[in-house]
Structure 1
Amino acid sequence: MIVGYQNNVLGYRAGLLQNRSVIKAGRYAVLEPDGLVRNVIPGFENCDITILGSPKLGASFVDYLLTIYPEGGNLQGFGAPGEETLIYVIEGALSVGTGEQVHDLARGGFAYCPPGVKLFLHNRSGVPARAFLYKRRYVPLEGTTPYIVVGDTEAMPWTEYEGMKDVLVKDFLPKDMAFDCNFHILCFKPGASHGYVETHVQEHGAYCLSGQGMYNLDNQWFPVQKGDYIFMGAYCPQACYAVGRDEDFAYVYSKDCNRDVALSDPSC
């Protein structure tokens, strides 16, 4: 059960104060819902918003968990110059503006905005909506230009992940070098796992959508479940097993891609 501000369970607890969250800044983190706090961010009205992954944790991006109440949202526009943004609807429905276009997104819907295009949010549905929000400074590549992408993951087919029939994936963005990141939903049937412990330069921010799992982070195992957030830093060994009985373990996550590693100027 999610407790804390997200379902108004406040004040003293019946038992000891305890929490499953684990923070190893720069390497990995597991944030459970209990203990998350509201953040006040200019432009967001009639919303509960929590900053999850951020540079203070060691990430090159910022992830947010957002609850948008009726008539709430961000009508000023989200995304500073040079930043790319994405919103993924977890529950409910939102009207999402990408520049001059407006899209009605339901559960599973998403919108990606490249630098120079602000993301506008408005909940006209009459009931609260929940969403996963992302921003990152875009890394340009000469001869390419990223563009707006709007889609519905509920309508997308699943693809086998590395040939495994019980591990499935959906990709949000096209395979195009113009994009320096991508977003995926990875789904493990009960008992399924990664084929190996991955170690790579990419970093991830992942929000658990369903089920339960055991996640290997830096060769330590942590229980995770629906509602948890996981940050995986560069070169952090990582893998998971899906546990539980009847529900798939699935999460939405970001990945940096399609770019070489930049070297600092030795003269600086």
Structure 2
Amino acid sequence: MSYLNNVVGYRKDLLINRSVVKKENYVLLDPDGLVKNVIPGFENCDLTILGSPKLGASFVDYLVTIHADGKNELGFGEEGVETLFYLLEGDLEVKAGEQSYSIKKGGFVYCPPGTKLYFQNKSGEAAKAFMYKRIYKRLEGYEPYVVTGNTEAMEWTKYEGMEDVLVKDFLPKDLAFDCNFHILSFKPGASHGYIETHIQEHGAYCLNGQGMYNLDNDWIPVQKGDYIFMSAYCLQACYAVGREEDFAYVYSKDCNRDVTL
């Protein structure tokens, strides 16, 4: 067995873990103990599956480390499936369909269904990325398209008018897209304005800092490196804790579509 944190053998303490798994409701995954998964096409990569339908999600989230000369020449994505590739660390050469891009930390590529994403690490240093895939829900008269950008170059905007809670949006406000991705950042002591309850589900990867997250009215401590799944109608909100570093996470959201009966 190969582990995400590369720690094997006996520990010097009790076997404990902060993960909480309540399938079809919410999940917190502590990176300690998560395994590396083998998936065809990912060469010289360490890849861990995070959220998935087996937890109750309608999507799949991944965390992948692309080592020097790591690549995917088979392509990530398939017909009917939309994907997102978000670079957390490093430099990477990426191809979406026939278009090539050089991306750095904060760079992302959204691929509509049927457009595969390929990548290669020529930098000589390891890179790290967050990936997402989901079956696209079509809307007559609209076609999604490739979107690229870099969150490091984006301006923060106030989240619901709050000075100490800021957000960045990945995708344009366009009905062609049935999902979006955001980074939400809280200054220490800041919080959501209220406990949210909604039909949208989220997969969230914690980028910085520490927080206390309300998940279905259970207050759970979270920190950088943790993964959170929130199902539809799961009560949710958080406070940022800690002394200096902002608490921030990248997350997905389904949107712009009616409910199918």
Q: TM-score range by the shorter chain?
A: over 0.9
Structure 2 partner of 1:57: 55
* Separation in 2, partners of 1:233, 1:193: 20
Structure 1 partner of 2:121: 123
Corresponding residue SS for 2:221: strand
Aligned with residue 218 of structure 1, among 212, 216, 219: 216
Is this contact kept in 1: 2:42–2:71, CA < 8 A?
A: yes
Quote the offset at 1:7 in angstroms. Answer: 4.2
Structure 1 partner of 2:229: 231
* Separation in 1, partners of 2:228, 2:42: 24
Q: Which amino acid is the alignment partner of residue 13 of structure 2?
A: G
* Separation in 1, partners of 2:29, 2:5: 17
Give the TM-score, by structure 2 length. 0.98
Q: How does 1:122-201 map to 2 (within 5 A)?
A: 122-201=120-199
Structure 2 partner of 1:79: 77
Quote the offset at 1:160 in angstroms. Answer: 0.1
Structure 1 partner of 2:245: 247
* Separation in 1, partners of 2:237, 2:122: 39
Q: Which amino acid is the alignment partner of residue 201 of structure 2?
A: E
User: RMSD across aligned C-alpha pairs, in angstroms?
Assistant: 0.8
Once the two structures are superposed, residues 82-141 of structure 1 have per-residue CA deviations (whole angstroms, 9 ceiling, x without a partner) of 000001111111111101111111111000000111011111110000000000000000
Q: Which amino acid is the alignment partner of residue 189 of structure 2?
A: G
Structure 1 partner of 2:67: 69
Q: Which amino acid is the alignment partner of residue 201 of structure 1?
A: I
Once the two structures are superposed, residues 17-65 of structure 1 have per-residue CA deviations (whole angstroms, 9 ceiling, x without a partner) of 1000000001000001101101010111100000000000000000000
Q: Does 1:11 align with 2:6?
A: no
Q: Which amino acid is the alignment partner of residue 241 of structure 1?
A: Y
> Structure 2 vs 1, CA of residues 7 and 36 (structure 1 numbering), >3 Å: closer, same or farther?
closer
Corresponding residue SS for 2:55: coil
Quote the offset at 1:249 in angstroms. Answer: 0.1
Quote the offset at 1:173 in angstroms. Answer: 0.2
Corresponding residue SS for 1:250: strand
Structure 1 gaps, min length 5:
264-268
Once the two structures are superposed, residues 212-244 of structure 1 have per-residue CA deviations (whole angstroms, 9 ceiling, x without a partner) of 000000000000000000000000000000000
Quote the offset at 1:73 in angstroms. Answer: 1.9
* Separation in 2, partners of 1:12, 1:132: 30
Q: How many residues align?
A: 260
Q: Does 1:209 align with 2:207?
A: yes
Aligned with residue 94 of structure 1, among 92, 96, 106: 92
Corresponding residue SS for 1:5: coil
* Separation in 1, partners of 2:21, 2:5: 24
* Separation in 2, partners of 1:68, 1:9: 19
Once the two structures are superposed, residues 154-196 of structure 1 have per-residue CA deviations (whole angstroms, 9 ceiling, x without a partner) of 0000000000000000000000000000000000000000000
* Separation in 1, partners of 2:22, 2:257: 26
